[in-house]
């Protein structure tokens, strides 16, 4: 996967973030990656409307998106059987990198989390990771979303892991925040 | 994390998965380089944007000061501070992110029951005014230890106060 290239041309990307400047920064990065069809939403209400009306290829969603927040919106997208974008890949953007938040994001059905402030490399790596690591979906009474149990088959392009890394069991919150590397591992746990 | 009984597992290959892997894509190095070049053009606007962002934050703080028990007003100030925190480093102002993050911690402590300390908040606003100046572009927090240690101690004081109140 290290030499894989990412082709975002003609993919419809929705950036949902309350900050116009943040949207502008994200769109600029996406343009740099070759994307040509990015659009914005400033609230979860706007985002739901767009997701109901048209096909979106990937959603970049801010964790604090008012009024409901990114986690609730993720959950709502996954649980709504009538939503044509129910299986849309969701990349949650958050500066709250506490372990509990990352766990909630995963359990709400997010495909991956990227820590804010984002850099071009951190965003590119997470998009690549989603593109090159397709996962089965699970439809269960208490969960609908990407399978949370899968084996480690490599990490975002260019990002290495420490030798001897093992699956992480999510526990009660003990530390203040997680580094992006540790966030990644929470999405790469189990079924080894 | 159990999926529970009655779970159905199925393959979903979205357009994103299909199209993003098409030939003709952009390599990581090229994509990151192009994105950084795009960001450079926006950095010019950063000074104006932070000025507006700080004005919004100051207005929110002034409103919060009139009624420090109003969680919604504190929440509004917190959101404005988050915005500065989430963007600073992306455009090369790591110090803005650092100071705004400290302010977020202070506001969180207030939300959790710490006293509203006007001086502490103003000290962070002043630090933000400083950090957004061109002089501090590409300056990391460890290059200005006095400023950062001062803010850190002040923020920790609020947080420990909140802990002592036990809310």
At A5 the pLDDT is: 93
Rounded CA-CA distance A114/B54 in Å is: 25
Shortest CA gap A144–chain B (Å): 9
* Residue B109 located in a structural domain: yes
Residue B119: inside a domain, yes or no? yes
Determine the Cα–Cα distance for residues A60 and B80; give it in Å rounded to an integer. 20
| 3-state secondary structure at position B66 | helix
- Domain of B146? 45-165
- Beta-carbon separation of B3 and A24 below 8 A: no
**What digits encode the pLDDT tens for the residues A42-55?**
999 999 999 999 99
Tokens of B80: 């404005």
Contact B27 A3 (CB under 8 A): yes
CA distance A95 to A98: 9
User: Does the distance separating the beta carbons of A21 and B20 come in below 8 Å?
Assistant: no
Q: Residue A112 in 3-state DSSP? A: strand
Condensed to tens digits (0 to 9), the pLDDT of residues A140-186 reads 999 999 998 755 455 454 444 444 444 433 334 445 567 777 777 77
Predicted ipTM?
0.84
pLDDT value of position A160:
45
Residues 6+ apart with CB under 8 A from B78: B104, B107, B108, B111
B145 domain residue, yes or no: yes
**Class for the domain spanning A12-186:** alpha beta
Domain assignment of residue B15, yes or no: no
Task: Give residue limits of the domains in chain A.
Answer: 12-186
Task: Provide the pLDDT confidence category of residue A3 given band limits of 50, 70 and 90.
Answer: low
| pLDDT tens per residue across span A68-102 | 999 999 999 999 999 999 999 999 999 999 999 99
A18 and B38 within 8 Å at the Cβ level: the answer is no
Which of A10, A127, A147 comes nearest B19 by C-beta?
A: A10
pLDDT digits (tens, 9 = 90+) for A89-136: 999 999 999 999 999 999 999 999 999 999 999 999 999 999 998 889
**Full DSSP string of A30-69:** HHHTT--EEEEESSHHHHHHHHHHS--SEEEEETT-TTT-
User: What residues are paired with A62 via a beta bridge?
Assistant: A93
**Burial letters B58-86, b for 16+ CB under 10 A, else e:** bebbeebeeeeeeeebbebbbbbbbbbbb
Nearest CA in chain B to A93: B86
Q: Is residue B39 part of a domain?
A: no
A81 CB-near residues (< 8 Å, 6+ apart): none
CA end-to-end distance (rounded Å), chain A: 19
Q: What is the pLDDT of residue B113?
A: 82
**Cβ neighbours for A163, distance < 8 A, ≥ 6 positions apart:** none
CA distance to partner chain A, nearest, from residue B110 (Å): 18
- Residue B33 domain flag: no
Residue B123 lies in a domain: yes
pLDDT reported for residue A158: 45
What is the pTM assigned to this prediction?
A: 0.84
State which residues of chain B have pLDDT below 70.
1-5, 158-167
Cβ separation B8–A4 shorter than 8 A: no
Chain B CB contacts of A9 under 8 Å are 19, 24
- Number of domains chain B is built from: 1
Tell me whether residue B61 is in a domain. Answer: yes
Q: Which residues in chain A have their CB less than 8 angstroms from residue B33's CB?
A: 32
Helix (H, G, I), strand (E, B) or coil at A127: helix
Give the minimum alpha-carbon distance from A187 to chain B in angstroms, rounded to a whole number.
12
């Amino acid at each position: 996967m290290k030499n894989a290239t990412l082709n975002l041309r003609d993919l419809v990307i929705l950036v949902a973030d309350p900050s116009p400047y943040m949207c502008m920064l994200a769109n600029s990065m996406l343009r740099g990656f070759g994307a040509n069809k990015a659009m914005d939403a400033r609230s979860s209400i706007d985002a739901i409307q767009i997701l109901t009306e048209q096909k979106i290829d990937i959603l970049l969603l801010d964790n604090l998106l008012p009024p409901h927040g990114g986690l609730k919106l993720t959950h709502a997208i996954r649980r709504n059987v009538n939503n044509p974008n129910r299986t849309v890949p969701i990349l949650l953007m958050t500066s709250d990198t506490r372990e509990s938040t990352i766990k909630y994001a995963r359990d709400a059905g997010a495909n991956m989390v990227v820590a804010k402030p984002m850099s071009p490399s951190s965003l590119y790596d997470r998009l690549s990771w989603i593109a090159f690591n397709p996962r089965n979906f699970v439809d269960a009474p208490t969960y609908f979303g990407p399978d949370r149990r899968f084996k480690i088959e490599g990490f975002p392009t260019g990002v290495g892991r420490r030798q001897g890394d093992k699956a992480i069991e999510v526990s009660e919150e003990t530390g203040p925040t997680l580094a992006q590397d540790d966030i990644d591992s929470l999405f790469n746990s189990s079924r080894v | 994390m159990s999926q529970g009984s009655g779970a159905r597992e199925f393959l979903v290959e979205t357009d994103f998965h299909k199209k993003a892997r098409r030939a003709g894509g952009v390599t990581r190095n090229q994509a990151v380089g192009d994105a950084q070049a795009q960001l450079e053009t926006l950095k010019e606007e950063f000074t104006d944007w932070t000025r507006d962002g700080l004005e919004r934050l100051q207005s929110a703080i002034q409103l919060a000061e009139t009624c420090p028990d109003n969680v919604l007003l504190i929440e509004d100030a917190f959101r404005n501070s988050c915005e500065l925190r989430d963007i600073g480093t992306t455009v090369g102002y790591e110090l803005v992110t650092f100071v705004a993050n400290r302010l977020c911690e202070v506001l969180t402590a207030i939300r959790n029951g710490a006293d509203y300390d006007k001086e502490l908040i103003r000290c962070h606003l002043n630090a933000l005014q400083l950090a957004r100046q061109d002089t501090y572009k590409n300056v990391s927090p460890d290059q200005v230890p006095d400023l950062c240690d001062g803010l850190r101690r002040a923020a920790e004081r609020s947080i420990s106060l909140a802990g002592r109140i036990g809310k």
